[in-house]
Structure 1
Amino acid sequence: MRIRIGYDIELAVNAPTLLLGALHVHPSRQHDLLAAENFRTNPPLRTDQYHDSFGNVITRIAIPEGVRVIRLTNSAVVLDRGVPDPVVPSACQHTLDELPPETYQFLLPSRYSEVDSELLGFAWNQFGNSAPGWARVQAICDYVHQHVRFDYEQACANRTSLGAWRERVGVCRDFAHLAVTLCRCMNIPARYTTGYLGDIGVEPVPSPMDFSAWFEAYLGGRWHTFDARHNQPRIGRIVIAYGRDASDVPITMVFGENQLHRFEVVTDELPEE
C-alpha cells in the first residue's frame, strides 16, 4: 500500500526567532519512503537537523529579521504493509526490576502526565484486579475511550491527563495522555506517539485531517501500539515522533509570539498502480 502524506503550515511571527519542529518521518519509517520528503520553507531559509534524546528528527530554522510569515510544506509517499496494528494478547507485563533502564523515564510524571496525582489511587482501584499485561492496557484503553468524549472544537493546548479525566472531553492527544498516565500508574512504561493516521479501512470522519496521537506500551520485551481514541487496530500509522508526552514532540515550537494562519494535513491511500 502507498500512502501520500504531507502538510501545509503557515505561521506569523513578529520578531527574529527560532523554530524547532518534528517535521519529518521518524527514522524507523524512513526506509519506507519511496523518495525523499519534499520539505520546503517559504521564504527559503536555512534548515538544520538533529536527533533529540528520543531519536526523533528535529528541524531547526532560524527566522531572521524581516520575515513575518513562514510557510512550511512537505510531501512524500510511504510504502506501508496495509495491515491493522498487531494484537498480542500474550504480551506480558514486566516487573519493575525486569524492565530495561531506558524504559524507566516512561514511568515517571511528565508535563501532561500527572502520575503523582489522584489518578494513581484511581488507577489501582479501577484496574488493580485486571489481568496484568496486554489485557490491563486494553482495559485502560476501553475505559478512556468510554470516559472521554472526542470534540475537535474542545482542543486545548494546556489540558493535562488529569484535566481530560475531570472534564471528560478532548482530542486525540488527550485520549493518549490519559491512557499513558493510567498505564504509568500501573507500572507499565508508556510513551506518547504522534504521526499521520488517515481514514484507511474505516469510514471517513467529518472533522479536518490532522496529525494524530496514540501511545505505545512496553510489554513482553517490546513496544506495542495502542489507541484509546479509536480503540481498534488501524491501518497506515506513520510515526513522526515519540516522547514522554506532547511537550516533547511538538510539530512546531516557536520561541516567541506567533500565530497560526494555516494548518492542513494530508494522509491518503493512493490507488494501486
Structure 2
Amino acid sequence: METVYLLILCVYGTVWGSFLTVVGLRVPLNQPITVSRSACPNCHRILSAKELIPVFSFLHQKGKCRNCRQQISLIYPIIELVSAAAFCLIYVSSNNQLFQIINPGLLLTFGIIFSVSDLSYQILPDRIMRWFATTVFAAHLFNDMQDFLFYSASGITFFLLFYLFYRIFPDCIGGGDVKCYAVLGFLLGYQTCVLALLLACLLVFAVYLPLLLAKKITSQRVIPFAPFIFTGAFMAYFIGPAFYEWLNLLLYIT
C-alpha cells in the first residue's frame, strides 16, 4: 500500500512541478497564470492535452515541439521529476504529521518558482516574494507561535547581514537574494539557515568551478543563485539536526 501512495505522490508531484514552472515563467512577464492556455514559445501553437502530460509528453515528443520541431527546454522534465522526488521525500519524513510538511512544502513550492524565474530572467519577482513571506508568517502563526520571536529575530538578522553585503558588494548579490534569505531565516531559524547558506555556496563551487577551469564560462557570467539557495535550504532542513548533532559530538570529543 505504501508503494501505491508513493506512486500517487509522484504523479501529483510532476503535475505540481509543471504548474509551478508555468508560474515561474509567466509571473515575471506579467502574464496570466491560469486563464491563457499553454502554447509553444517558438511557433505559438496552442498545446493539446496530450502535449501537456508531465514528463511523458517530453519523452513521447523526443524533447521537441510536434509542430515546429523546436527543442523543448530540459527545465520542464527536470523540475517535474525533482518535484515528484521531493513529494515522496516530504511524505516519508513527515511521519503522517501535517505540520511536518509545511516547511519543506513551502521550500519546494517557492524554490521551484524562484529557480525557474532566476534561470530564465535573473529575476525574483516581488509579487511572489510577498506571497512567500505571507505564507511563512501564517505558518508560524499556526505552527510555531511559541518561537515566533526567535524566528523573527533570525529573519531580521539575515536580512541585515545580506543587505550590508549587498550595499558593500552590489555586483556579487542581488536584491532579491537579500529578501529571499530574510524570509528563509524567518522560516528555518538561524542554525538551519546558516547550514543552508553553506550548502548553497558549496553547490555553486561544485557546479561553476569546473566550468570556469574548463573555460566553458567566464568569471563575468551572472550566476542564478536561487536554485542553489533553495536546494541548500531543502537539504539543510532534512540533514540539519543530524549535522549539528555530529558537530556537537565532534567538538565535545576534541
Q: Which TM-score applies when normalising by structure 2?
A: 0.24
Q: Answer 1 or 2: which has greater strand percent.
A: 1
- Greater RCO, 1 or 2 (C-alpha within 8 Å, sep 6+): 1
Q: Answer 1 or 2: which has greater helix percent.
A: 2
